[in-house]
Amino acid sequence: MYHLRLKIFILLCLGGLTVAVGRLMILQTMHIQQARQNLEQMRILGPQQCPTIRGRILDRHGNAVALDKPAFYLHINYELTRLMDPRWREGKILRAVTEEKTRQEVEREFYDEKWKDSLDALNRTIDLAWQLADVSRDEVVESIQQINNFIWERARYIQWLRRNRGRSRSDYRAERDSIPPGQIVGIDLWEMHQTYPLVELKTQSDLLRAQIELLDLKELEIRSEAKRIYPYESAACQVLGWVAPWQEHEIEVFEHDKYMSYQEGEVLGKAGVEKACEPALRGRRGEVTYDREGNLLDRVEPQYGRDIQLTLDIELQRKIEKLLSAQNMPHEGKPSAAVVLEAANGDILAMASIPVFDLNTIRQRENYNRIFDPNNPDKPWEHKALERNYPPGSTAKPLALIAGLEEHKIGPHDAISCSAWKLPPQGWPRCLLQRNYSIGHDDHFGQGGNYARNAIRGSCNVYFSQLTNRLKGQALQSWLFQFGLGQDVLSIPLPENAAVNGVLDVPLNQARGCLTYDVYQPRVTAASELKPIPDWEKKWWGIGQGSLRVTMLQTANALSAIARGGIYKSPRLVYDDTDPYNERHRRTIPVSASTLSVVRDGMKAVIYESHGTAQAEFQGSDLFGRDMTIYGKTGSTERPNHAWFECFAEDSSGRTIVVAVLVEGGQRGAGEAAPLGHQILRYCNEAGYIGRKPTAAPPAAPEARPD
């Protein structure tokens, strides 16, 4: 029995020893493996992210109107720039002050020993930078301050976050100024060991001089970076928009995406297509990882930004902008705008707004301040055809006639008297003929009665004010709404993989006009949601005055629907491969062919017949012999004064071009806007969009009107 117990005891001891030895071997093996992994990790350098390459913006013919090109920049290290930051200096001094050292002793030590050489290098850098870049010393100093502000803010937030996990940014904003500088300078960030662009080296001589000067300035280096270039300078500047360094409130969309989030020095779209198409143009950074011996361990390939192709013809756009700026035209270069549409698919061939500015120099301080001067009434950064509301004047009359005929408030041959002997009641619109010449449109110069097509031809205010007064206000609003007034008409389709929060259609910044008596009309999706207009307002809407407001693009697009025979399509600025014929927003407006025929007949008479309001401008036009039939409408408004002209031209092959022109401060549509529309039609013909091209040299633009 004793021996049996002894054997059991020995076996248990041997088993325990075996288990212990086994565990020890496992632990040793695991520790060795962990140690090896740690050693491997120590050999691996941190991943380096590659810069993004922004996609190009192309016109309809493939011409690049915005693209990234390599440029050379003088970069400066934060370890040097921070010496100019009084907050950082104060923090370093406070941290160095102890019981043994006074503040005065610490300051003397820092300025005379630790910082002296670096401060000298910083001043040499500033002098070199402003001389190389042909900018002022103050601008270089401002760039350094921007670098310091960026990193100081990052360090301050990280310091606060370490002590306040789980709290919101709004809490931080309320407490940020209470964080002592001595705590902030104790933070060590990756951004503090990077270099940042200070000035661009634009010439080879600047580059060579910088390379020579850098021999003894280790805090500086030259780097090649992508720079956004606009080859056509000011052409379509408000449409294209521009890029600039991001601000804190602009980076939230991609802040959780490792390869799309914005890094210091990167840019984003600030306006126009650059802003609306940012998710597609942006691209994704790549990433490379090396070990300390320089061996490539991992690589994530960058994804270049997508190219965006516009429907614009940049050469046509540039010609129109030059025309609108011309001082020798009847409008004398007043602020103005023009829209050209290809009616079949709604493509915007040109959308010009004067004055313009050079996109390549907008980021220069003096240019930026001049362009965005709040006291400048022209607001050149706004696109007048897209972002401004205007009373449409007599360009609203074709739509008013459609509403009256379709609602059966008048027949095509029913006359409304416009007599010089029986004037409208007090407070009702009068015709210019009555006011200026004491004649009316009744039996106008032997052309028959003042019925529908003749009222369009002569633009009779009496006819259209009395016609729309017969309509119910909601019926009038509904017809205008069906033609696209009172709503956003232009959006940009994004590629499916560039959608943000599932949104694929991005609206450009645009005005919506006004189809209520309230100029602050909310966004609506149906005419029934509109607040009804009062009865006394209807008569003014018939002549495009009162509270009625439109954008130029809405006006051109509504005319396109008339030219298409009542088919509505949204205007298109960016090609969509999935919808080549722009059918996505197509719908049929319930207007009869007979009504459209009456409207077209009246608009043709505006151009071709005696006493048509634009006949004097087009009389004997060379365009008539180029297989083109033109339908037009002039317009003039008061309080404020603006001159309008709209038209569409058709040829025998079925092509149709729509043109709308507005001159701010213009007195007469026929005298100031129609000559511009006439010349724009010439440009469209010469570019091959309508009619037969001229065989001889094109005629010169119309001469200036006599004083």
Of 95-99, 325-329, 372-376, 517-521, which one has max mean pLDDT?
325-329
The span from the CA of 702 to the CA of 328, in Å, is 9
DSSP 123-148: HHHHHHHHHHHT--HHHHHHHHHHHH
Same domain as 275, residue 327: no
Nearest CA to 259 out of 56, 51, 55, 54 is that of 51
Q: What is the DSSP letter of 403?
A: H
Same domain as 487, residue 350: yes
Instruction: Name every residue whose Cβ is closer than 8 Å to that of residue 701 and which is 6 or more positions away in sequence.
Output: 323, 326, 328, 329, 679
pTM above threshold 0.85? no
Kindly state whether residue 286 falls inside one of the protein's structural domains: yes
The beta strand positions in 404-463, using DSSP E, are: none
Band the pLDDT of 292: cuts 50, 70, 90: low
Same domain as 493, residue 387: yes
Residue 111's pLDDT is what?
A: 86
Measured CA distances, 156 to 84, 151, 168, 182, 630 (Å): 17, 8, 15, 11, 66
The span from the CA of 262 to the CA of 637, in Å, is 47
Q: What is the token pair recorded at 547?
A: 């509270």
| The pLDDT of residue 704 is above 50 | no
| The pLDDT of residue 285 is above 80 | no
Same domain as 262, residue 350: no
Same domain as 408, residue 532: yes
Residue 300's identity, in one-letter code, is V
Of 53-62, 185-194, 264-273, 493-502, which one has max mean pLDDT?
53-62
Same domain as 376, residue 360: yes
Contact present, 292 and 282 (Cβ < 8 Å): no
The span from the CA of 675 to the CA of 618, in Å, is 8
Kindly state whether residue 192 falls inside one of the protein's structural domains: yes
Which residues are bridge partners to 636 per DSSP? 643
Coil vs helix vs strand at 304: coil
CA dihedral angle for residue 147, residue 153, residue 154, residue 157, rounded to 10 degrees: 180
Same domain as 277, residue 162: no
The span from the CA of 571 to the CA of 568, in Å, is 9
Kindly state whether residue 19 falls inside one of the protein's structural domains: no
- Mark which of 271, 288, 310 sits at the end of a domain: 310
Kindly state whether residue 8 falls inside one of the protein's structural domains: no
Kindly state whether residue 703 falls inside one of the protein's structural domains: no
Q: What is the mean pLDDT of residues 29-49?
A: 55
Band the pLDDT of 589: cuts 50, 70, 90: very high
pLDDT digits (tens, 9 = 90+) for 365-387: 677 888 888 888 888 999 999 99
Same domain as 320, residue 408: yes
Look-up of token digits 């006291």: 375
DSSP 480-526: HHHTTTTS---EEEPPGGG-BTTB-EEEPS----B-SS-TTPPP-SS
- Mark which of 295, 310, 325 sits at the end of a domain: 310
Kindly state whether residue 32 falls inside one of the protein's structural domains: no
Q: Crossing angle of helices 314-325/674-686, nearest 10°?
A: 150
Contact present, 551 and 383 (Cβ < 8 Å): no
Same domain as 59, residue 80: no
The span from the CA of 206 to the CA of 212, in Å, is 10
Kindly state whether residue 266 falls inside one of the protein's structural domains: yes
| Structural domain boundaries enclosing 440 | 314-686
Band the pLDDT of 622: cuts 50, 70, 90: very high
Contact present, 271 and 509 (Cβ < 8 Å): yes
Q: Residue 589 phi/psi, 5° resolution?
A: -85, 130
Kindly state whether residue 659 falls inside one of the protein's structural domains: yes
| The pLDDT of residue 28 is above 60 | no
Contact present, 341 and 557 (Cβ < 8 Å): yes
Same domain as 220, residue 278: no
- Structurally, the chain folds into a number of domains equal to 3
Q: What is the mean pLDDT of residues 395-420?
A: 95
Same domain as 680, residue 573: yes
Q: What is the token pair recorded at 400?
A: 């008013």
Q: What is the CATH number of the domain that holds 55?
A: 3.90.1310.10
- Mark which of 254, 276, 310 sits at the end of a domain: 310
Same domain as 325, residue 295: no
Higher model confidence: residue 321 or residue 41?
321
Q: What is the CATH number of the domain that holds 388?
A: 3.40.710.10
| The pLDDT of residue 707 is above 50 | no
